C-alpha cells in the first residue's frame, strides 16, 4: 500500500510538473496524487450475487484514471490475473500474476485493458479496465477474438461498458 502510494507520487509528480512548469504553476501537483484510488477486484469461484456464475472477477469492469491502482485480490484459490496480449493500450505495461498471487498494477497509460485468469479464460474469467479517455483503443479491443464462454462474458461486459461510456458522454456535453 505504501509502496503503491510512492509510485503514484513519483509518476504523477513528474507528469504534472512537466505540464505545469511552463505555466509557472506547481501548487496543484499533489491534488492528482490525493485523488488516486486503489480499485479492488476479487478473484472468485462463484459470483456473490449469482452462484451459477462461476470463475469470475468482481467487479468485472473498473472505471479508473491514470495514477490509480488496480489490486487483484485472491479470495479463492486457483486463479491469477494477467493482461491480454493485444488487449491493452500502446505503451502500457503488461502484467502477469502467478496463480494464487495478489497483483497491484499502477496505471500509467489511459485506454481500455482486457485481462483474464489464465486457467479459466475460456471458462469466461475475464475483465475490462476503462482508464481515462478510452477512445484510442476501445473499439479495437472490443473486436478481439474471444473463445468459448469468454465470448459470452465479453458480450455482456461490453454491453455494460457501452452504457457507462454513453452516460459519461451525455453528462459531459
Residue 90 has what DSSP assignment?
T
Taking CB atoms, the residue at the shortest distance from Cu ion is 117
In whole angstroms, the minimum distance from the beta carbon of 51 to Cu ion comes to 16
In whole angstroms, the minimum distance from the beta carbon of 116 to Cu ion comes to 8
b/e code 112-149 from CB counts within 10 Å (16+ = b): bbbbbbeebbebbbbbbbbbbebeebbeebbeeebeeb
Confirm if 70 and 128 have CB atoms less than 8 A apart: no
Would you call 169 helix, strand, or coil by DSSP?
Answer: helix
In whole angstroms, the minimum distance from the beta carbon of 79 to Cu ion comes to 3
In whole angstroms, the minimum distance from the beta carbon of 78 to Cu ion comes to 6
Would you call 20 helix, strand, or coil by DSSP?
Answer: helix
> Whose Cβ is closer to Cu ion: residue 138's or residue 154's?
154
> Whose Cβ is closer to Cu ion: residue 107's or residue 126's?
126
* Interacting residues of 13 by C-beta distance below 8 A, sequence separation 6+: 29, 33
> Whose Cβ is closer to Cu ion: residue 87's or residue 89's?
87
Q: Give the neighbor-by-neighbor strand order of the sheet with 38-47.
A: 50-58, 38-47, 69-74, 103-106
Would you call 117 helix, strand, or coil by DSSP?
Answer: coil
Dihedral over alpha carbons 69, 162, 144, 61 (to 10 degrees): 30
> Whose Cβ is closer to Cu ion: residue 120's or residue 153's?
120
Positions in the binding site for Cu ion (CB under 5 A): 55, 79, 117, 120, 125
> Whose Cβ is closer to Cu ion: residue 12's or residue 62's?
62
Amino acid at each position: 500500500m505504501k509502496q503503491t502510494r510512492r509510485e503514484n507520487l513519483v509518476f504523477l509528480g513528474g507528469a504534472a510538473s512537466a505540464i505545469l512548469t511552463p505555466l509557472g504553476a506547481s501548487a496543484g501537483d499533489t491534488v492528482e496524487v490525493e485523488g488516486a484510488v486503489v480499485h479492488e477486484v476479487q478473484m472468485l469461484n462463484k459470483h456473490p450475487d449469482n452462484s451459477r456464475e462461476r470463475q469470475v472477477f468482481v467487479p468485472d469492469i473498473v472505471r479508473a484514471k491514470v495514477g490509480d491502482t488496480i489490486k487483484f485480490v485472491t479470495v479463492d484459490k486457483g486463479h491469477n490475473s494477467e493482461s491480454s496480449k493485444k488487449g491493452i493500450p500502446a505503451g502500457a505495461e503488461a502484467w502477469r500474476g502467478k496463480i494464487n498471487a495478489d497483483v497491484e498494477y499502477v496505471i500509467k497509460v489511459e485506454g481500455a485493458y482486457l485481462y483474464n485468469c489464465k486457467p479459466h479464460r475460456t471458462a469466461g474469467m475475464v475483465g475490462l479496465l476503462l482508464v481515462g479517455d478510452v477512445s484510442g483503443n476501445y473499439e479495437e479491443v472490443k473486436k478481439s477474438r474471444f473463445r468459448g464462454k469468454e465470448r459470452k462474458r465479453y458480450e455482456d461486459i461490453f454491453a455494460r461498458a457501452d452504457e457507462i461510456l454513453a452516460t459519461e458522454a451525455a453528462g459531459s456535453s
